[in-house]
Amino acid sequence: MKADDAVLFAKTAGSEFENVSKHAAAGHWEEATASFKKATANCAGCHTAHREKAADGSWKVK
């Protein structure tokens, strides 16, 4: 199912955002930054795979 990869993207991003919070709370800024980059890469991957730009400039799910 096509949505399965979207679920994986979301779970992975969510996990990385949790890591951002944990690392930041501990003052581990390099690790927090690395987790943030991983999380946002997952967001971008899902948005690229599952959305398309409409003629009016809005976005819609593929």
pLDDT tens, residue by residue, 3-62: 888 999 999 999 999 999 999 999 999 999 999 999 999 999 999 999 999 999 998 988
- Structural domain span for residue 8: 2-61
pLDDT at 12: 96
pLDDT at 33: 99
Distances (CA, A) of 58 to 3, 7, 8, 21, 47: 21, 23, 25, 31, 13
pLDDT at 32: 99
pLDDT at 1: 56
Say if CB 46 and CB 10 are below 8 A apart. Answer: yes
Say if CB 17 and CB 39 are below 8 A apart. Answer: yes
pLDDT at 62: 85
State the total domains in the chain: 1
